[in-house]
Chains A and B, each alone.
Chain A
Amino acid sequence: MTNWIMPTDQFLENTKLYWYNRSQEYKDVETNKAVLNEWFQSTKRNNIIGWDSMGCVDLTMGCTHFIESFIIGQNGLDNFQTLPDEYAYYGFLGKWGNPVGKLEPNKPLILTLPNFNWCDLRPDWDQVLLECEQKHIDIHIDAAWLVISKDIQLDLAHPCIKSIGMSISKYGLQWNRVGLRYSKQRKIDSITVFNKFHKYNCNDNLYDCARFCVERIPRDYMWDTYEELNTNSCKENNWQQTNVINGVWDNGEMKCITRELGLTPHSK
């Protein structure tokens, strides 16, 4: 299994220093949410459509919060399903995944997309969608890796896709995990409570910081900045490029190349 190291560089680390070293400006929660919403939607490297079908937009503390909130909303670990080759966190919960073709009807499915095992959509993504259509399965997407991806095509308006969580964390921002949940319908869970019950004066520092960061970091920063380096590294090492900046195929094995790109913390 690949040991993933999230990429960062001096610019991203300076953004953190800049946040800590200067006086900050408070902005209200709706402004912070609006800035993040526009930032996520502004990708030019990916083709994500159907945003207008996701009428409910809520702030989160990253994609793990999205996942945990989803799980709480299902009222029990038996009331949702996962796929094989998924985020290890589900295994910690005792969820090992139902194979494609054997998904349980009417039981919500949460999955990772793009999936780090392929650094792309799952190769069986079309089959997953079809099976979910046939079996009336709602899909909830953890898109934590989307910000460091390119060429991902996704139609959020697909009737089975009910929600998607996005996060800024993969831009070296794990120190201030914030994201958005886009959903077609809210239900009571921890994200709804944070956004509707504790709406004001809640996590202002987190959200102000997230807004501050994305106002300075272009949405497609990693691929815009390191595409040439990634491409040259792939040529030199006979790796096959993927759609995630720090993942390549090396003799049929997925390999994390954060070190090879010189994007490990404090290395650039």
Chain B
Amino acid sequence: MVAERVLQYSKEPTSELIKFEFVFSSTYWNTPPHIEILIGNKVHYSGHLHKHNTTVEFSAHLDFTEHSLHILRTGKTLAESRHVDGEWETQSCSLERLTVDGINIRNILWSKSTFVPVYDSTQDGEAVVEGELIFGYNGTFHLNFTSPFYQYVVDCVRGAR
């Protein structure tokens, strides 16, 4: 009886506002890599990376359901690589850190994310690379997660996902 009355008091939330913080690193001698970050179909960031580190921050309203994070990495062409004094110079792009709701989710990225490279005509390799955070090729990074985000983290740590 008590429990029924309490349920009338509290309105369980159905969504949350979650902060995302990405740290990318990149090198290039010609043109910088370009990234586009989406959650579902919504683009939250689109732009070129700086040399060395670039931090991208945004907050997203997430309904308590399944979501997919995508990072579309473009800008890599054959023209971005050259041989200089016996060394290859090229355009690189890595996701160094992703902090979601204040939590560095490094191990979750390593075990749950995938990268789908787009090989050019002279290259081949795995169609899907698991846990890859060095985006040497153009391609798309994917991470499926759920909201509430704390529950997703709890489930991952507990091995329920």
Chain B residues with CB under 8 A of A12: none
Beta-carbon contact of B148 and A73 below 8 Å = no
CB distance from A227 to the nearest CB of B (A): 27
CB distance from A159 to the nearest CB of B (A): 12
CA of A21 to CA of B111 in the docked complex: distance in angstroms? 52
CA of A54 to CA of B11 in the docked complex: distance in angstroms? 7
CB distance from A211 to the nearest CB of B (A): 10
CB distance from A202 to the nearest CB of B (A): 13
Beta-carbon contact of A38 and B2 below 8 Å = yes
CB distance from A183 to the nearest CB of B (A): 9
Chain B residues with CB under 8 A of A188: 101-103, 150, 153-154
Beta-carbon contact of B12 and A74 below 8 Å = no
CB distance from B114 to the nearest CB of A (A): 24
Q: Is B5 an interface residue (CB 8 A)?
A: yes
CB distance from B26 to the nearest CB of A (A): 26
Beta-carbon contact of A74 and B102 below 8 Å = yes
Beta-carbon contact of A193 and B6 below 8 Å = no
Can you list, as one digit per residue, whether each of B10-32 has a CB less than 8 Å from chain A (1) or not (0)?
Answer: 11110011000000000000000
CB distance from B23 to the nearest CB of A (A): 15
Partner of B13, one of A37, A38, A75, A185: A185
Q: Is A99 an interface residue (CB 8 A)?
A: no
Asked, given contacts A196-B151, A196-B154, whether A37 binds B6 with beta carbons under 8 Å apart, the answer is: yes
Task: Report B104-161 residues with CB < 8 Å from chain A CB.
Answer: 148-151, 153-154, 157-158
Q: Is A236 an interface residue (CB 8 A)?
A: no
Task: Report B1-60 residues with CB < 8 Å from chain A CB.
Answer: 2-3, 5-6, 9-13, 16-17
CB distance from A131 to the nearest CB of B (A): 21
CA of A30 to CA of B2 in the docked complex: distance in angstroms? 11
CB distance from B12 to the nearest CB of A (A): 5
Q: Is A8 an interface residue (CB 8 A)?
A: no
CB distance from B87 to the nearest CB of A (A): 39
Q: Is A52 an interface residue (CB 8 A)?
A: yes
Chain B residues with CB under 8 A of A197: 154, 157-158
CB distance from B79 to the nearest CB of A (A): 42
CA of A31 to CA of B149 in the docked complex: distance in angstroms? 26
Chain B residues with CB under 8 A of A31: 2-3
Can you list, as one digit per residue, whether each of A37-54 has a CB less than 8 Å from chain B (1) or not (0)?
Answer: 110010000000001111
Beta-carbon contact of A184 and B13 below 8 Å = yes
CA of A242 to CA of B84 in the docked complex: distance in angstroms? 79
CA of A185 to CA of B5 in the docked complex: distance in angstroms? 22
Contact sample, A vs B, 29 pairs, CB 8 Å cutoff: A30-B3, A35-B2, A37-B6, A37-B9, A37-B10, A38-B2, A38-B9, A41-B6, A51-B9, A51-B10, A54-B10, A55-B11, A55-B12, A56-B12, A57-B10, A73-B102, A184-B13, A185-B13, A185-B16, A186-B148, A187-B101, A187-B102, A187-B150, A188-B101, A188-B102, A192-B154, A196-B150, A196-B154, A197-B158
Where the two chains meet, the residues of B that have a C-beta atom closer than 8 Å to any C-beta of A are 2-3, 5-6, 9-13, 16-17, 101-103, 148-151, 153-154, 157-158
5 nearest A-B pairs in the assembled complex, by CB-CB distance: A34-B3, A55-B13, A55-B12, A34-B6, A188-B150
